[in-house]
Amino acid sequence: MRVLAGAVALAAVSACGGITLKPDPVLPQPLLQPLPSTVGLVLADELRNYVHKETRWGVEWHIALGPGHVHLLHDIFKDSFRQVQEFKDLAAARAGTGLKAVFEPLIDQYSFVIDRDTGGRYDAVTIRYRINVYTPQGEMVDTLTLTGYGSALAQGLSSGKPLERATLAAMRDAAAKFLVQFPQQAPGQQLAHDEPLTVQSGVDTAANVLIEAVPIEESGPDTDAGAPPTPAQPPSPGAVPATPAPPAPAAETPKAPGA
């Protein structure tokens, strides 16, 4: 009955021309001391304009991730560092003054499952990020990889709200991991002493440093601890950013709620 109800709901949505989402999270104030450094934040057009387009079960999904991530990243870096200067590209950041490091966050991949994939139980999202870390002169120091997971109960199998809530949860999950774990990385420890990063700052760290991708367990109305893991369907040919991006790594399976 759940699957039938979902099919009816999706058919109604399909007749209306698909679903458009624009997730915009609100990040709670973290109880953390900002690192005492001034850093640059590059929010390139690739990130600002990132849109995931995919057809699932005959329904067109149009998920505008760029604007919400601009808002989220402003909050993350404001809470992580004493002062943040924003730039549109790396060339502009090189002209900045007083910087100790430059960060360029990018979305590598967005994948999801909806209630029809899970028998009407929940929606789940995985977002994989890549954060390039540069010296103030624009030389590469390291690349951090970070994965956020989110899920939400289906609650009626209708308008796409559960997928929006799951996406917001994945964005908040990634934010919490960066806030808590970046200070433990070698570049974070150097910025904790207000020292400018150099190419040698990354010598003791492996390329593509992984910020741990274990999901943060949460309880609340949008979680479902009893839901089993469900593999995400492979991204359709249209499931790409609005602007060209480097090839994404293999898709990760969105985690079941409470996993």
The DSSP string of 124-164 is EEEEEEEEEEE-TTS-EEEEEEEEEEEEEE-SSS-SSHHHH
For the stretch 149-199, pLDDT in tens is: 999 998 765 579 999 999 999 999 999 999 999 999 999 999 999 999 998
131 is written with which tokens?
């954060």
Cβ atoms 117, 230 nearer than 8 A: yes
Please state the rounded mean pLDDT for residues 113-140.
94
Cβ atoms 151, 169 nearer than 8 A: yes
pLDDT at 258 over 50: no
User: Distance between CA atoms of 10 and 172, rounded to whole angstroms?
Assistant: 27
What are the boundaries of each domain within the chain? 2-210
Which of 113-122, 137-146, 154-163, 230-239 has the least mean pLDDT? Answer: 230-239
Cβ atoms 86, 39 nearer than 8 A: no
The helix-helix angle for 161-181 and 66-80 (nearest 10°) equals 30
Please state the rounded mean pLDDT for residues 200-217.
51
Q: What is the mean pLDDT of the chain?
A: 79
Instruction: Give the pLDDT confidence score for residue 158 in this predicted structure.
Output: 57
Q: Which residue has the higher pLDDT, 64 or 226?
A: 64
Which one-letter amino acid corresponds to residue 11?
A
Which of 31-35, 70-74, 96-100, 131-135 has the least mean pLDDT? Answer: 31-35
Backbone φ and ψ of 80, nearest 5°: -90, -30
CA angle 186, 192, 193 (to 5 degrees): 105
pLDDT at 246 over 90: no
User: Distance between CA atoms of 44 and 47, rounded to whole angstroms?
Assistant: 6
Which one-letter amino acid corresponds to residue 32?
L
CATH of domain 2-210: 3.30.160.150
For the stretch 32-79, pLDDT in tens is: 899 999 999 999 999 999 999 999 889 999 999 999 999 999 999 999
Q: Which residue has the higher pLDDT, 180 or 241?
A: 180
Instruction: Give the pLDDT confidence score for residue 17 in this predicted structure.
Output: 63
DSSP calls for 185-215? SHHHHHHTTTPPP-GGGGTTS-SSEEPP-PP
Rg (CA), the chain: 19
Instruction: Give the pLDDT confidence score for residue 26 in this predicted structure.
Output: 87
Instruction: Give the pLDDT confidence score for residue 257 in this predicted structure.
Output: 52
User: Distance between CA atoms of 193 and 218, rounded to whole angstroms?
Assistant: 33
Q: Report pTM.
A: 0.75
User: Distance between CA atoms of 67 and 242, rounded to whole angstroms?
Assistant: 13
